[in-house]
Amino acid sequence: MTLYSDGTCLESHCVRLVMAEKGIQFDLHVIDPQNPPETLQPLEPYTDTIIFADREVVLYEPQIIIEYLDERFPHPPLMPVDPVTRANNRLCRYRIQRDLYGHTKVLQQASNKKKSATARRKLRENLISLAPIFNQKSYFMSDEYSLMDCCLIPLLWRLPLFEIELPKQATPVINYAQHLFNRESFQNCLSKTEREIRA
């Protein structure tokens, strides 16, 4: 199994975290998204910065990759068994991507100070609004660790990078994040650059 990515993006971190949770051995090839190798271009028809290859299987959408990994390596399971809860898990991950990841892309570009300030404010507000949810369950909207956590935790790790400090009212989010940061799988999947974010 081979993962091609810039080695630091949120999507790459999410996929590497799923692999760490399942103890999957893989090769990581760090590529420059602005100048990807010519050999990869036919494999990835869009502008994503992540490609996953497993023998004849080639995938380039992070959410498809992590579900593939969960089905290919079913233990420990990171998706619920029943269809309704599985659908809700997918919907929550879609909202994480749309409502949270979208703002991080603006912050990573940092080309427009006004847009960056707006993205930073909206991301902070969205996280604060989630705080009550973390008082109800041990994990994100679930009693079991799942793919939703694998998507959310890499983003929370990067808050200092985005210059976002959560207020006291978001304490449940902060406690949840710290608890999951301490997981062995999370620590094992951090790249050197990612580790330096909170050095």
**So which residues are the catalytic ones?**
9
Contact 48, 31 (CB under 8 A): no
Other C-beta atoms closer than 10 Å to the C-beta of 8 total 17
User: Which distant-in-sequence residues (6+ apart) come within 8 Å of 128 by Cβ?
Assistant: 166, 167, 169, 170, 173
What are all long-range contacts of 123-128, with beta carbons under 8 Å and residues at least 24 apart? 123/162, 123/164, 124/164, 124/166, 126/99, 126/100, 127/100, 127/156, 127/164, 127/166, 127/170, 127/173, 128/166, 128/167, 128/169, 128/170, 128/173
Q: Look at the block and give the residue holding tokens 């910065």.
A: 49
Q: In the Cβ-directed half-sphere of 34, how many Cα atoms lie within 13 Å?
A: 1
